[in-house]
Amino acid sequence: MNEMTDPTVIGQRTPRVDGEYKLTGRAGYTGELHVEDMLYGYPVPATIAHGVLTSLDVDAARGMPGVVDILHHRRVPKLYRSPNSMGHGDQVSEIRLPFEDERIHYHGQYVALVVAETFDQARAAAHAVVARYRQEDDARPSLLLTDAEGDLLEEEGDSRGDPDAAFERAAVTLDETYCIEAESHLQMEMHATLAEWRGKRLIVHESTQGVVYQRNALARTFDLPQEDVEVISHYIGSGFGNKLFMWPHAIATAAAAQLVGRPVKTVLPRQQDMLTAGNRPASRQRIRLGAERDGTLTSIRHDSTTETSTVDRYVDSCGGATPSAYACDNVAISQRILPVNHGTPCPMRAPGEVSGVYALEAAIDELAIALAMDPVELRLHNYAQHDPQSGLPWSSKQLDKCLRSAADRFGWSQRDPGIGAMRDGDEIIGYGMASATWSAGRQPCEARVELRADGSVFAACGTQDIGTGTYTIVAQTAAELTGVPVERVDVKLGESSLPAGPLSGGSMTTATTLPAVAAAVRDAVDALKEIVTKPEGAFAGVDPDALQVRDGGLASEDKHISFAELLAMHDVASVNGKGQAAPGGEQEEYSFRSFGAHFVEVRWDPGISRLRVSRVVSSIDVGRAINPLAARNQVEGAIVMGIGMGILEKLEYDPRDARLMNSNASDYRVAVHADMPEVVDVELLDYPDFRFNEFGARGIGEIGLTGVGPAIANAVHHATGKRFRTLPITVDKLVEALG
């Protein structure tokens, strides 16, 4: 491995290379695209959550101006369910095909798709479709509104030692249940599909976190060879997991385009986006802890239940981080899923673990209080110096430094542990903290690079930039390894026909993609060296290994010639390099995780019943940050999302019939500018993890969200003396509990 120990472009704050396109409106998002002869699709959502579609009258709608066709369960081309395998890369978000039958499984399920000449005509006709239903009265509205247990998933369990016996023997115990309401991704850009058939070939523009996955899944669904499907996604207005895998609107739109023989574009309205395209499922988690008087943890049990839908089996594994979190000999986790009548849940930023870390870190805080120990000290006392579940050493773990550094910057030592003991005028101040953690993953990846005669470098990979800065870090990588400036690197992503790249998910994109791009650069440079060291070449007689890449050219002991000049001298338009990279033997030698710590100050003003998160101080250990500007931005955004999870965000389902009541961006509350703390102080520790890859980078998208929720809940307890065990801690709960 070529450890990048002293980079000059990697690790530098680098403005986004696509920033100008976005600011000037030239970046084409799927919903804005237009092709010749294009029609508009508009879905008709079911208005019940559980029952049967008894009749569907489309005649009036069919006769309205501009309407070309209406798809429904009796009028749909032949479709096939995708095998839905993560391993084969054809995973979908919902296994049920659109318009399969008359059963209604959730509010918003599509019962028809209207296709018309204009968007307004399609929408007007969709409202004129008359659907009648027989509603069944045993709809299940939410995990948190039932005592039902759910199905135990044996394969999601992990254990060591004998946690039950250790719990019985423990001097101090805790047994509490923690819940989190379902959340919406509420990503800025709506889900959108533009599907076009060219003969037997299907071309789909989609706002997706995985062009290759969606290509594979569409090939399965329409029974096409993969090479006859192309999925394109050049710009994405974020996706926090709800754009990882294909949803029914994409299938319905491609089916419509096939049926009518013209391109069709569907942009989901916000309401349907929230109803049908994923949510973070509600969770209920029972935590049992046992400890000795000195704080030594002797037993951890973490038993979780999360929601799925009745048409798929989505598992939000809450216990994933728990077995590795603390040095404790006796640990067990279990996972259940409970089908409810919602649109199918899906991953949402740090899926499963963000919920699990909330429950565990809130419980650790409660244990610290029971032991009369400082919560930071309790965590350090049970510090896992190696991964206690696998027994492997950590590749790199700086959690202790995160805890100490964030505590210092926050002023934790000024904390008076007494409940409500800290005041500022009318406000009661609470301090809380929690650890953050997220797994570090990596997958196989391919890339292609060209050194071009005009002096530019071209780099391509079939991954995508979901708004997090992938274009920029790929450009930085090519710039680092060629000495060509970042502005002269031309990056192409977001096309399924490019060399296969990863999902933009699991915080894996950086660690997965950059080593493949680096390999492709080296391959291109080697190809150039071979040309220029031939007998007629510019470096004839020089050993290729003695040629150095420097400042956008090759250098021997006595001369430097730029790539552009070299290509001109040898009359070549470009040289190509291919690269591939994959995780290897290191996976058996080390455990890979990222770590962090959040310290939060809340202010509770009992006179006006106002709770604010007023300060957040975080230290994050993700190895090296490739672009600290974008990396910090990821953590800051995650903290804002964590404030939403802690005190605001909640999908509200009607307990009578399971219909979603706040499927819009005004009734579903997220943190806005007015909710932002005065201080968000993010520190990125810089300990490159070269055991993971040559860049030393573990990825940063999700870690920042883990730990924010419990730090807030712990701070609220410190301020108010009330332990709220269900997130979000909304004002109405505070008022009810505190009068």
> Which residues are tagged catalytic?
702
Q: Which is nearer to ligand MOS, 330 or 504 (CB)?
A: 504
Alpha-carbon span 232 to 224, nearest angstrom: 17
The answer to whether 244 and 505 have CB atoms below 8 angstroms apart is: yes
Q: Which is nearer to ligand MOS, 506 or 704 (CB)?
A: 506
Closest contact distance (angstroms) between CB of 348 and ligand MOS is 5
Q: Which is nearer to ligand MOS, 185 or 397 (CB)?
A: 185
Under DSSP, is residue 224 helix (H, G, I), strand (E, B) or coil? coil
Can you tell me which residue has the tokens 């409810």? Answer: 340
Closest contact distance (angstroms) between CB of 350 and ligand MOS is 7
Tokens (6 digits) for 288: 């049992």
Closest CA to 204 of 285, 213, 214: 214
The answer to whether 430 and 504 have CB atoms below 8 angstroms apart is: no
Q: Considering only residues 312-371, where is the footprint of ligand MOS by CB under 6 A?
A: 347-349, 351
Closest contact distance (angstroms) between CB of 459 and ligand MOS is 23
Alpha-carbon span 602 to 196, nearest angstrom: 52
Residue 729 makes CB contacts below 8 A (sequence gap 6+) with 611, 646, 647, 712, 713, 716
Closest contact distance (angstroms) between CB of 438 and ligand MOS is 10
Q: Which stretch binds ligand MOS (CB under 6 A): 236-244, 423-431, 533-541, 615-623?
A: 236-244
Closest contact distance (angstroms) between CB of 503 and ligand MOS is 7
Task: Write the interaction track for ligand MOS spanning residues 506-525; mark x where CB under 6 A is met and - where it is not.
Answer: x-------------------
Tokens (6 digits) for 732: 């109405």
Under DSSP, is residue 561 helix (H, G, I), strand (E, B) or coil? strand
Closest contact distance (angstroms) between CB of 423 and ligand MOS is 39
Q: Considering only residues 403-442, where is the footprint of ligand MOS by CB under 6 A?
A: none
Q: Which is nearer to ligand MOS, 245 or 539 (CB)?
A: 245
Nearest residue (beta carbon) to ligand MOS: 241
Identified binder of ligand MOS from the candidate list 163, 241, 467, 501, rule CB under 6 A: 241
Q: Which stretch binds ligand MOS (CB under 6 A): 41-49, 239-247, 249-257, 373-381?
A: 239-247
Q: Which is nearer to ligand MOS, 143 or 348 (CB)?
A: 348
Closest contact distance (angstroms) between CB of 502 and ligand MOS is 10
Report helix angle 708-720 to 731-738, nearest 10. 30
The string of DSSP letters for 31-82 reads: GG---TT-EEEEEEE-S-SSEEEEEEE-HHHHTSTTEEEEEETTB-------
Residue 191 makes CB contacts below 8 A (sequence gap 6+) with 207, 242, 243, 247, 249, 267, 268, 273, 277
Residue 288 to residues 94, 244, 646, 724, Cα–Cα distance (Å): 34, 34, 22, 17
Closest contact distance (angstroms) between CB of 593 and ligand MOS is 16
Mind spelling out the 3-state secondary structure of 48-62?
Answer: CCCEEEEEEECHHHH
Q: Which is nearer to ligand MOS, 388 or 506 (CB)?
A: 506
Q: Which is nearer to ligand MOS, 183 or 361 (CB)?
A: 183
Alpha-carbon span 409 to 259, nearest angstrom: 62
Q: Which is nearer to ligand MOS, 238 or 562 (CB)?
A: 238
The answer to whether 597 and 470 have CB atoms below 8 angstroms apart is: no
Under DSSP, is residue 152 helix (H, G, I), strand (E, B) or coil? strand
Q: Torsions phi, psi of 388, nearest 5?
A: -70, -15
Strand order from edge to edge, sheet including 39-45? 67-72, 110-116, 39-45, 264-267, 192-198, 201-206, 229-232
Identified binder of ligand MOS from the candidate list 10, 229, 232, 244, rule CB under 6 A: 244
Burial class (CB in 10 A: 0-12, 13-18, 19+), 129: buried
Residue 371 to residues 171, 293, 364, 367, 540, Cα–Cα distance (Å): 10, 7, 10, 6, 75
Q: Which is nearer to ligand MOS, 297 or 700 (CB)?
A: 700
Closest contact distance (angstroms) between CB of 707 and ligand MOS is 16
Q: Considering only residues 624-663, where is the footprint of ligand MOS by CB under 6 A?
A: none
Q: Is 505 in the site for ligand MOS (CB under 6 A)?
A: yes
Within 10 A of 101 (CB to CB), how many other CB atoms are there?
Answer: 10
Residue 460 is inside which H or E element, if any?
A: strand 457-460
Task: Write the interaction track for ligand MOS spanning residues 194-223; mark x where CB under 6 A is met and - where it is not.
Answer: ---------------x--------------
Interface with ligand MOS: number of residues (CB under 6 A): 10
Q: Which is nearer to ligand MOS, 243 or 717 (CB)?
A: 243
Closest contact distance (angstroms) between CB of 596 and ligand MOS is 17
Alpha-carbon span 215 to 254, nearest angstrom: 12
Chain positions contacting ligand MOS, by CB under 6 A = 209, 240-241, 244, 347-349, 351, 505-506
